[in-house]
Structure 1
Amino acid sequence: MQEFFHLYGYRFNWLNTLDLTIVIILVIQLYRLLKGSLAFNIFVGLLMIYLVYFLVERLRMPILTTILQSFINVGLIAIIIIFQPEIRKFLLVLGKKAPLSKDSFFTKLFLPDKFKSYKEEENIINEVITAVGRMAGSRTGALIVVANTYRVKFDTASSILLDSNINAKLLESIFAKASPLHDGALIIVGNKILAAKVILPVSENPDLPHRIGLRHRSAVGITEHSDNIALIVSEERGTISYAQDGKLVQDISLEELKVKMYEVLVDG
């Protein structure tokens, strides 16, 4: 191993060791970010191309080296285009932990909890939990996206803008089977119901259970590239699930959902 690094002029000292450690950590985090998505297979393919390039360069194969070098020259642009959703997700996570965000050390230091009020968030949670519980009891299918920090981008042409207060009875009436708004998702931003009948991107994650329906796949899809949580009520079984960070958690209780919503809206 040391001969390999010396071959490329890499000498071990404390600074280079730190450099290598940081690179390894970044690669591990990148693996965790891409694992389970189609982008992971693309990443592995690109990595193999780079490894082949180093091999043919070492073996002094000029034609293949030239071809692969041309590919690598535009590789950065290709990576930005291909992994645009993953890069956006990484920046969202990074921005959420930024020095001036609400869960940073400096904010917690200068804005103690006693000066904060979560009455509005508690009201939102109670109204949503009440509606979800009733819809689960009546097996009324529902998909609710709660945006905490960032606004959700969606197709306004096919959706209905509401900008109304959050109320359990209103949520139930929107998803009632006779309602013209029951298809699609409902978007909550801040303390308002922003829109209903929203068409969301469907996740292409091959690791998702095959038996889940379009609501669950849409919930996972909207959370793969945004800082949101999506709540799902199954029309067939009356069960409750949620999606966050591209992960689906199924068959949870109302109390578990309430704890999760507190983590998202209050604890941040």
Structure 2
Amino acid sequence: MDFLNLEFNWLDAIDLLIVIVLIIQLYRLLKGSLAFNIFLGLCVIYVIFFVVKALKMTILTTLLQGIINVGIIAIIVIFQPEIRKFLLVLGKKTPLSKDSFFTKLFLPDKFKSYKEEESIINEITTAVTHMAHAQTGALIVIANTYRVKFDTASSINIDANISAKLIESIFEKNSPLHDGGLIIVGNKILAAKVILPVSENPNLPTRIGLRHRSAVGITEHSDNLAIIVSEERGTISYAQDGILTMDISPEELKIKLYEVLVDGM
């Protein structure tokens, strides 16, 4: 058979290595999501296609080729959120991304003092710490690279400077704004009472509530940080890139905020 006599050179090795790396990255992005099983099914179809093509099974090759041709469009539709997340991760690693050495070296704000960012970090950390001690539930979303898209029909626009007292008053248990998420963009509190997408990740802990699942949901396909205060346990958690990190200290929260608002700039 012809596929047993194929020549294999160093370019083929590089080609195979790149494919393996891409598959590993896709696996990491899709692991734990409902799309993961679909991804495995598509991989099986492709493997079968290459086998029957190598064996010159004409009818099966034609049939699977048709499925694959139509499947490319289906993949774009089904995996639209995952593709967007993959491109987002890829873009953050390019030479011109904000995290790169090149950008940090030549951007005009290289020598910026970051006093405003430090003030924002202190205000958020203070508010979250107070709410944790009082067991006041809260969900704060900090938009980093991209603005958060949310339902304006249910949210309340605020457009106010960030302060610990204002954040605490919004999430106070008798406040009409305490349900939903609080959106921070730049140096402003943009909106409150925002309904956020709920994650469908089956691997999340079963004990967590709607706030934690919404925090994971808003970070699964966007470059945002979501901070959660548990009303039941008075603990602090955060979600980033669809990953939930639970029961952190105020000091750990401040480090994460520095990473997002200062080091990530």
Aligned pair 1:163/2:164, yes or no? no
Give unmatched runs, 5+ long, in structure 2: none
Corresponding residue number in structure 1 for 2:203: 207
State the identity %: 78
Q: How many residues align?
A: 264
Corresponding residue number in structure 2 for 1:115: 111
Corresponding residue number in structure 2 for 1:130: 126
Q: Secondary structure at the match of 1:74?
A: helix
Corresponding residue number in structure 2 for 1:100: 96
Cα distance in 2 for partners of 1:214, 1:203 equals 9
Corresponding residue number in structure 1 for 2:251: 255
| Aligned partners of 2:156 and 2:193 also within 8 Å | yes
After superposition, the CA RMSD in angstroms is 1.9
Cα distance in 2 for partners of 1:40, 1:81 equals 15
Cα distance in 1 for partners of 2:93, 2:51 equals 40
**C-alpha deviations, 1:58-77, integer Å up to 9, x for none?**
55555544432221111211
**Which of 51-60 and 77-86 deviates more?**
51-60
Corresponding residue number in structure 2 for 1:230: 226
Aligned pair 1:26/2:37, yes or no? no
Shift of 1:155: 0.8
Normalised TM-score (structure 2): 0.93
Q: Secondary structure at the match of 1:186?
A: strand
**Which of 102-111 and 77-86 deviates more?**
102-111
Cα distance in 2 for partners of 1:144, 1:39 equals 27
**Which of 150-159 and 107-116 deviates more?**
107-116
Q: Secondary structure at the match of 1:37?
A: coil
Code of the residue aligned with 1:115 in structure 2: it is: F
Shift of 1:9: 7.2
1:1-268 superposed matches below 5 A: 7=3, 10-58=6-54, 62-111=58-107, 115-268=111-264
Shift of 1:208: 0.3
Shift of 1:83: 0.8
**C-alpha deviations, 1:140-198, integer Å up to 9, x for none?**
00000011111011111111111111010000010011111100000001000111000
Q: Secondary structure at the match of 2:160?
A: strand
Code of the residue aligned with 1:163 in structure 2: it is: D
Q: Secondary structure at the match of 1:86?
A: helix
Cα distance in 2 for partners of 1:160, 1:72 equals 46
Cα distance in 2 for partners of 1:150, 1:119 equals 22
Shift of 1:113: 7.7
**C-alpha deviations, 1:216-238, integer Å up to 9, x for none?**
00000000000011000000110
Code of the residue aligned with 1:26 in structure 2: it is: L
| Aligned partners of 2:137 and 2:171 also within 8 Å | yes
**Which of 101-110 and 144-153 deviates more?**
101-110
**Which of 219-228 and 56-65 deviates more?**
56-65
**Which of 34-43 and 191-200 deviates more?**
34-43
Q: Secondary structure at the match of 1:11?
A: coil
**Which of 53-62 and 213-222 deviates more?**
53-62
Give unmatched runs, 5+ long, in structure 1: none
Shift of 1:37: 1.3
Shift of 1:28: 1.2
Normalised TM-score (structure 1): 0.92
Code of the residue aligned with 2:11 in structure 1: it is: L
**Which of 246-255 and 24-33 deviates more?**
24-33
Cα distance in 2 for partners of 1:137, 1:191 equals 25
